[in-house]
C-alpha cells in the first residue's frame, strides 16, 4: 500500500522530540510517551531500534533514558527508516529473487530498482535539522 509503518512514525516523532529537548538532556521513554501521546511499550521498541542504529544513545539505570546519538544535521529521515524498517524492498525480488515467479521474463526490475533509489535519495536529502526548520511557529 506504499505506506510508512507506525513504528517509523513513532521513531520520527521521538527523534524530533529529543531534538527540541537539546542534545544533553536525557529523556525517559515514559516522559516521551506521555508527552507525545503514544503507547510507552511500543515506543520503547522504536527507541531500541534507533539506539542500535546509533541514532539515539541510551543511559541505563535510574535517571536513565535516551538522548540523540549525534547532531541533528547528521541524522536523515533515511537513517530513521533504515533503523526501524530495515533495508527497503520496493519489490519482492529485492529481498529474494525466488519470490518473483517471473524473474527471468521481468521487464521492469531495472526501473523499480532505480525508483527505489530515487525514493531513498529523497529520504536522505532531509536531515532532522532541516525538518525542524520547516516548522512554522
Cβ 24 to ligand FES shortest distance, Å? 27
Cβ 136 to DNA shortest distance, Å? 28
**Torsion angle (degrees, nearest 10) of CA 125, 39, 29, 55:** -20
Q: Could you give the string, one character per residue 22-41, with x where binding to DNA holds by CB under 7 A and - elsewhere?
A: ------xxx--------x-x
Beta-bridge partner residues of 84: none
- Cβ pair 65, 29 in contact under 8 A: yes
Provide the grid cell at 1.
500500500
Residue 21 contacts which entry, ligand FES, DNA, a second copy, none (Cβ below 5-8 A, type-dependent): none
Q: Which is nearer to DNA, 46 or 127 (CB)?
A: 46
Q: Which is nearer to a second copy, 13 or 70 (CB)?
A: 13
Give the one residue of 17, 53, 58, 123 binding DNA; rule: CB under 7 A: 58
Provide the grid cell at 95.
529481498
| 89 CB-contact burial (10 Å; exposed 0-12 / middle 13-18 / buried 19+) | middle
CA distance 137 to 76: 22
Q: Is 80 in the site for ligand FES (CB under 6 A)?
A: no
Stretch 28-57 residues interacting with a second copy (CB under 8 A): 36-38
Q: Is 63 in the site for a second copy (CB under 8 A)?
A: no
- Cβ pair 56, 47 in contact under 8 A: yes
Amino acid at each position: 500500500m506504499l505506506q510508512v509503518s507506525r513504528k517509523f512514525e513513532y521513531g520520527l516523532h521521538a527523534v524530533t522530540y529529543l531534538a527540541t529537548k537539546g542534545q544533553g538532556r536525557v529523556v525517559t521513554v515514559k516522559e516521551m510517551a506521555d508527552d507525545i501521546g503514544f503507547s510507552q511499550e511500543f515506543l520503547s521498541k522504536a527507541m531500541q531500534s534507533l539506539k542500535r542504529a546509533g541514532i539515539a544513545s541510551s543511559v541505563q539505570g535510574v535517571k536513565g533514558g535516551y538522548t540523540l546519538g549525534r547532531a541533528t544535521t547528521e541524522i536523515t529521515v533515511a537513517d530513521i527508516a533504515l533503523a526501524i524498517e530495515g533495508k527497503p524492498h520496493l519489490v519482492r525480488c529485492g529481498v529474494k529473487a525466488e519470490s518473483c515467479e517471473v524473474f527471468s521474463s521481468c521487464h521492469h526490475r531495472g526501473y523499480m530498482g532505480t525508483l527505489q533509489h530515487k525514493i531513498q535519495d529523497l529520504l536522505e536529502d532531509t536531515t532532522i535539522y532541516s525538518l525542524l526548520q520547516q516548522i512554522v511557529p
